[in-house]
Each structure stands twice: as structure tokens, then as C-alpha cells.
Amino acid sequence: MIGVTLKSLHAYLRLLENASELKRKMPTSSVQRSVKEGLGEMSRLIGADQAMFKAPRNIAALIGAQRFVMIGGEPSVADHVTRVFDSSSVLWTVLIDPAHFETSPSGQQGTSPRTSYQQPQSSREPESSLDSLKPLLAGNVPLTCRLFRALFEHMLGFVSPASAQHGNALLVNELTGSKAHGRSFLSTALFLLGAEVDHDNLMPFMMDQGLFGIPIFEHLLQNRDYCEAYYAFRRLERAFIGSPADEETQLRNRIDKFNSQFGGKPYPARLLEADERDKAQVDGYFAAADLLEAMALTPWGISLGRAVAVDSSNCIKSLKTIARHFKRCPLGAEAKEQANREIADHLLAFARQFSADSRYV
């Protein structure tokens, strides 16, 4: 985009590290909106046709296909998804256009005249500053979906269902109340948006800013509830699974397509072994695929791309490792807390191994 540099984008995104400024720009109170209403507001904000965000494919890109069902042509989701979606959309709106909300006398949402959030710029290097991300996202539905999905997944993984019931303010407090949360999502936002601005120089810039490396991976991966954010939705998605051949085909097609994004080749061997065809186990594999797709939207995806470039089977090995922990939970073989720790440790070890300068195994 003309006039936008990695430096100006980074300066703008540092709003995510400023919890007090974020809260000041949030509505003081709001009525929880449905997913349908939130989708309409999102389309208006980026100047896209509202019909685009009614398409099941784009709803799936925003929140994951496993988290909604179309009933009568409208998306229907669980209460927890509605709450996290609404809170994510409010925070996403502030990130896209910090001046979007104002506090009316009744304390409800509204729009205000534009005021900019700008980091101080060095007088030695004058740079064009951003006052919103709207020009970068205007009409770009795929990029909008990726950015929102990354925020939604971050929120869903870190925020407890109990706190989600208390509304947007508490959710934002949990997400931005610590520097670790703000910085880890800043890294993700810069990773996604920076690729549109200056892909070739993005990684060196992120390294210079301390936004790629083990500390970021630790903040991003540890203390997340992977079981509730991923496996629980697959477990409740359907009552019965299909035939072993159908499940194998669906899973294989999905993983081969995912691998191909990183230059990987189709996996030649069977994914589901003969003793891995009950519902808990199949759900575990699909939940693991959901998790890997979500992590690919973050800087962790760099490690995945490098791993697949070395050997396409590295993605499959990770899938199987995660699925093993997911499927052990409902069988009582592993506590949820232990499964969450084991999955986080695996993802962190994966990042350490494949982010390193020539330490591929």
C-alpha cells in the first residue's frame, strides 16, 4: 500500500500495548450483538458488500466452520461464541478505527469525529502516520477475515467462559491487562498486515522490534485452553461420524490442502489407523487440524512453513501429536489441564526447532 511502511504500521499497532488507551477508546457500555449484526457492522467498516459476510465460507474464515451452523440461511452459534465474537469485534473495530466509538450521554456505542492514535515519530526520520487501518483493509475480505480470526482465536483460547459472561470490558481487560497479551497479538497483527506492506523485509523488521522469537512464542502458546477452544467444538459438532473411508478422505483432503499452502506434498500414508476410528479419536484429529490452521495465522506459522519445506510429514507428525492429547481427554486418560500443557509444550518445542537457523531434524 502506497504511503504505508512497516515502521508506520508498527507505530500504529502499538496501540495494542497501551491498555489504558484501548479502554479509553472502547464504548463504556454496549448491548451484546448477534453474530449476524456483528458481520453487518464489519462489512460497513471496510466498505465491503454485506452479502460477502453472509456467505458461509467467509463466516467460516472468521470464526471456524466447526463453531457455527446455518439454520434458515442464518448463522447460529453457542452463547459463548456469541460473547467472544462480540467482544472480539468491538476490540477489532477499535484497532481498525480508534475513533469509531464515542461515549454518548447514555453510555452506548456511537461514532465520533476522527481523532488519530499516533506514536511519536522521530524528527530525524519523518514518516507518514496512520490514523486507521481502513485504507489497508478496504474491500479486502480475505485479509479482514485473517486478522479478525487471529484476534478471535486469541480471545477464545485465553479468556475463560466465566469472564466472557461479564461483557466486553472484562474481556478486554484480560486480553490487554498484561504486556504479554498485547505484545503477542501485536506480533500477530504485524505478521499478517506487514506481509501486505513489505513482505520481503517483514521478518528482519520483526526481529529488530523483538516481535519474533522464543519470548513471543511463550506468550502466544502457553496458558491457553486448547481443549475448550478446539476439541470441545468438534465433539459437539455432530452426534455420529461417517464411514472410516469418508472420514479418512475428508481429513486427508484438508491436510493436503493445508500443507500445499507451504509447498508441501500430499501425504502418502493412511492418517487414521484401523484402531483410530471412533468418534473421540476422529474429533481429535479434526480439532488438531483446526488448531494448526489457527496457529498458522500467527508468527508460529513461520516455523510450520519451514518444517514443511524440510519434510511434508512434519505437519502430520504435529497433527498426530496434538490429536493424541485431544482424544485422551474424553476417555479419562488425561486431565484437560495436562493436555493443554502438553500441547503448548509441543507447539513451543516445534517453534524452537524449526525457527532456529539451520537446526532442522
pLDDT in tens, 286-318: 999 999 999 999 999 999 999 999 999 999 999
Band the pLDDT of 111: cuts 50, 70, 90: very low
Q: Are 179 and 309 in contact (CB under 8 A)?
A: no
- At 137, give phi and psi (nearest 5°): -100, -5
Backbone dihedral region for residue 105 (phi beyond 0: left; psi -120 to 50: alpha; all else: beta): alpha
- High-pLDDT (> 90) share of the chain, %: 65
Q: Is 246 exposed, middle or buried (0-12, 13-18, 19+ CB in 10 A)?
A: exposed
DSSP code of 74? E
pLDDT in tens, 217-266: 999 999 999 999 999 999 999 999 998 889 999 999 999 999 999 999 99
| pLDDT of 125 above 80 | no
> In Å, how far are 111, 138, 150 from 63, measured between CA atoms?
26, 20, 9
Residue closest to 188 by CA, chosen among 159, 223, 155: 155
pLDDT in tens, 275-284: 556 898 899 9
> Is 338 or 182 the better-scoring residue by pLDDT?
338
Band the pLDDT of 169: cuts 50, 70, 90: low
Average model confidence (pLDDT) across the chain? 86
Residue 26: the pLDDT is 81
Q: Give the number of other Cβ atoms within 10 Å of residue 30's Cβ.
A: 17
- At 280, give phi and psi (nearest 5°): -60, -40
- Average pLDDT score over residue span 328-332: 80
Facing residues of 71 across strands?
74
Task: Give the best-scoring range by mean pLDDT among 111-120, 121-130, 160-169, 349-358.
Answer: 349-358
- Average pLDDT score over residue span 91-112: 67
Is this prediction's pTM over 0.85? yes
| pLDDT of 103 above 50 | no
Residue 102: the pLDDT is 62
Q: Are 284 and 340 in contact (CB under 8 A)?
A: no
Residue closest to 150 by CA, chosen among 190, 118, 178: 190
User: CA 30, 118, 132 angle in degrees (round to 5)?
Assistant: 55
Residue 27: the pLDDT is 81
Residue type, 169: A
pLDDT in tens, 16-71: 888 788 888 888 766 788 899 999 999 999 999 989 999 999 999 999 999 999 99
DSSP code of 106? T
- Average pLDDT score over residue span 166-185: 67
Residue 278: the pLDDT is 86
Residues contacting residue 253 through CB under 8 Å, at least 6 positions apart: none
- High-pLDDT (> 70) share of the chain, %: 84
Residue closest to 258 by CA, chosen among 240, 239, 245, 271: 271
Cell numbers 467498516 correspond to 45
Distance CA 29, CA 108 (A): 5
Q: Give the number of other Cβ atoms within 10 Å of residue 114's Cβ.
A: 11
Residue 7: the pLDDT is 96
Residue 282: the pLDDT is 93
Residue 161: the pLDDT is 61
